[in-house]
């Protein structure tokens, strides 16, 4: 978790989509088991105290506290003071495995519902709505992907922004 980079909202949305639609059942199971190691009270959310207890078994108290603070700054996207399973998945997904040119092209083709080779505003809006992205963020995310402002997102525009994770 500590190696998780902060990413753009669009990259986070795509990681979420990948986690839900492209991960193998084995990978999903492995991540769930990892999450449960940290979720000491089994409520489906990780608190600073829970992480601190786990990290204190491996690090000094001071190092553990620093580590947990760093993790929360990077992962707690909604500022709830807790890390939910979705935030955990996004932070721990094997980005090298799922964020390569081949997988991203497959993802693009899944999103490109009319198979035009470009994503229209409607296709992006539908995808983001399906992922329950708040309306106020939709327009910003579309602009982020449509770098030349022509209203269409080409495969190259999509790949360029998504591969910035590497």
Question: What is the total count of domains within the chain?
Answer: 2
Structural domain ending residue among the three candidates 62, 92, 122 = 92
Structural domain ending residue among the three candidates 63, 92, 121 = 92
67 and 83 share one domain: yes
74 and 119 share one domain: no
Phi-psi map region of 117: left, alpha, beta (phi>0 left; psi -120 to 50 alpha): left
* One pLDDT digit (tens) per residue for the chain, 166 residues: 544 444 466 677 777 778 777 788 898 899 899 999 999 999 999 999 999 999 999 999 999 999 999 999 888 877 788 998 888 887 887 667 777 788 888 888 888 888 898 888 778 777 766 666 666 666 666 666 667 777 788 888 888 877 765 4
What confidence score (pLDDT) does residue 104 get? 85
133 and 84 share one domain: no
- Going 72 to 75 to 76 to 81, the CA torsion angle's sign is negative
| Domain range enclosing 150 | 97-165
């Amino acid at each position: 978790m500590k190696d998780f980079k902060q990413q753009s909202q669009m990259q986070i949305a795509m990681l979420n989509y990948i986690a839900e639609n492209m991960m193998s059942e084995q990978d999903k199971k492995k991540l769930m088991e990892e999450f449960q190691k940290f979720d000491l009270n089994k409520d489906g959310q990780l608190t600073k105290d829970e992480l601190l207890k786990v990290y204190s078994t491996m690090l000094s108290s001071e190092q553990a506290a620093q580590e947990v603070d760093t993790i929360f700054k990077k992962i707690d996207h909604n500022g709830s003071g807790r890390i939910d399973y979705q935030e955990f998945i996004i932070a721990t997904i094997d980005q090298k495995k799922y964020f390569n040119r081949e997988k991203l092209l497959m993802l693009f083709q899944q999103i490109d519902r009319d198979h035009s080779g470009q994503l229209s505003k409607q296709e992006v809006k539908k995808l983001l709505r399906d992922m329950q992205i708040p309306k106020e963020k939709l327009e910003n995310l579309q602009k982020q992907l449509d770098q030349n402002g022509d209203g269409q997102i080409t495969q190259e525009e999509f790949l360029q922004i998504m591969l910035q994770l590497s």
